[in-house]
Amino acid sequence: MTGWRAWALGITADGDPELRPIVYSRERWPAREVAQARCPPRAGSGHRSPEARCTCGLYVVDGLDRLPAITGRDITVIGSASIWGRLVEHESGFRAEFGYPSRLRLVCGPCWGSGAFDPSVVRVQRTGRGTILALCERHARNAAVNDVAPDRLQQRLLTTYAVDPMPDEAVRAVASTWKRPRRRARTPAASAISLALVVLFFGSFLGLVVLAMSVR
């Protein structure tokens, strides 16, 4: 099966870009090797991953419109991944035993983290966590000069994993469906109704207390 997901990005000791999960950023999706889910990542727990009663597994969502709901630290790569082996279906996609990326694209990490979307990357910046963030023009203004051009980094990423770039139409589809649920502000009418319900509740409660005392 094929699903969509997001990754953090690191650099190996040899200088090659390396996909990393956004939860366990010290783990990795190895290049030209199958990524295999384990629970927990660094040790065996006695069950094969993914397990229906656990949260382990390689996560993908089942549509481009669900990508904006993915949150995590240092997201800077989005794309599709092929998954197989044991699969567990969840509300928005699947957890898989095995996976490998199929299409990749750099996006601005700070934009994604703040609830926006910008695939127009102009600079790359290293973090103190061993990851790399791609930056749009707005977020690159105060960034240090990078040692690699973003276009070159993306091409190295594609070459390292031997995959194709995420199609432009898919990028446009993500941009058009980018939405984040926002808590609606209370209107004066809603506040007045809430206050009236509170007064009614306590009024009824006090009435019951008075009635109980009168029948003693």
Residues 22-75 pLDDT 10s = 886 567 899 999 999 988 766 655 788 999 998 889 999 999 999 999 998 899
pLDDT digits (tens, 9 = 90+) for 70-126: 998 899 999 999 999 999 998 899 999 999 999 999 999 999 999 899 999 999 998
The answer on 191 and 165 residing in a single domain is no
The answer on 111 and 71 residing in a single domain is yes
Per-residue confidence (pLDDT) for residue 143, from 0 to 100: 77
Beta strands in the chain (DSSP E): 2-11, 17-20, 35-36, 58-61, 77-90, 93-106, 121-126, 132-136, 164-165
The answer on 126 and 89 residing in a single domain is yes
The answer on 113 and 13 residing in a single domain is yes
Rounded percentage of the chain residues whose pLDDT exceeds 70 = 77
The answer on 32 and 57 residing in a single domain is yes
- Three-class secondary structure of residue 143 per DSSP: coil
Which run of H or of E encompasses 152?
helix 150-161
Burial of residue 154 (CB within 10 Å: 0-12, 13-18, 19+) is buried
Asked if residue 181 belongs to a domain, the reply is no
The answer on 138 and 39 residing in a single domain is yes
The answer on 131 and 198 residing in a single domain is no
Measured CA to CA, the distance from residue 95 to residue 127 in angstroms comes to 29
- Number of domains making up the chain: 2
Distance of CA 15 to the CA centre of its chain: 25
Between the alpha carbon of residue 53 and those of residues 23, 170, 187, the distances in Å are 19, 33, 41
The answer on 212 and 130 residing in a single domain is no
The answer on 207 and 121 residing in a single domain is no
Per-residue confidence (pLDDT) for residue 191, from 0 to 100: 38
What range defines the domain where residue 202 resides?
186-216
